[in-house]
Amino acid sequence: MDFAHARYLMVETQVRPSDVTDLSILAAMRAIPREAFAPAALKQVAYADRELEVAPGRALMRPRDLGKLIQALAPRPGARALEIAGATGYGAAVLAKCGAQTTLLEPDPDLNFAAVAALGACGVDNVDTASTDITAGWADAAPYDIIMLNGSAETVPEAWLAQLAEGGRLGVIVRSGAAGHARLYTRSGGVTAFRVLFDAAPPVAPGLAARPQFAF
């Protein structure tokens, strides 16, 4: 399979038609080999217009959703970024290629190990990794200009909002049942507010399902 051509088609037929116009993001997605972050059995479909399962219940976001979310987060060289539940690290690689000093937080140690290997194979050297519970964020490298969740959440932990720098942005897809929409949170004057960006419904990331509500 010609992965370079498949990567070009992914950008031209999935990402750009979804109103992703930031040239640095388009260049990053043309350059980063998504197949390097896919399990061996799924490398041939690494550029399909779908979530890419990398472990049971875990997936990389659709390319269009990732591109749109990163564009809303507006990464710039020198920005400090955190990708939460980053799985095998493709989203972190794109952020890093846009110039952000990125931390990948992944609770599954096997996926974290796979991310380290994939990032190294792609020559991405401005991503640090951590493997622990994601609901508390990663305070060691906070505050962040950008925080992004790979996957979706039914609840948004307050710890993530607290780790945003002044002017910082959090991009997270919030699900309610089968439906979901991307939110962009912005911190200003110590207060955070969000606006809705687009519809999407990737799998809920570990630990981010809403607790069942008891009712009589």
Read off the amino acid at residue 14.
Q
Residue-level pLDDT at 210: 83
Is 161 inside a domain boundary?
Answer: yes
Is 209 inside a domain boundary?
Answer: no
Q: Which two tokens stand for residue 82?
A: 């955190």
Mean pLDDT of the chain: 95
Looking at the chain, how many residues does it have?
A: 216
Please count the structural domains in the chain. Answer: 1
Contacts of 25 (CB under 8 A, 6+ apart): 15, 67, 70, 71, 75, 94, 98
Give the confidence band of 152 by pLDDT, cuts at 50, 70, 90: very high
Task: Supply angle C-alpha 39, 14, 125, rounded to 5.
Answer: 50
Is 110 inside a domain boundary?
Answer: yes
Is 210 inside a domain boundary?
Answer: no
CATH, residue 33? 3.40.50.150
Is 215 inside a domain boundary?
Answer: no
Range of the domain at 133: 3-199
Is 208 inside a domain boundary?
Answer: no
By CB neighbour count within 10 A (0-12 exposed, 13-18 middle, 19+ buried), where does 206 fall? middle
pTM across the whole model: 0.94
pLDDT digits (tens, 9 = 90+) for 92-119: 999 999 999 999 999 999 999 999 999 9
Is 89 inside a domain boundary?
Answer: yes
Is 156 inside a domain boundary?
Answer: yes
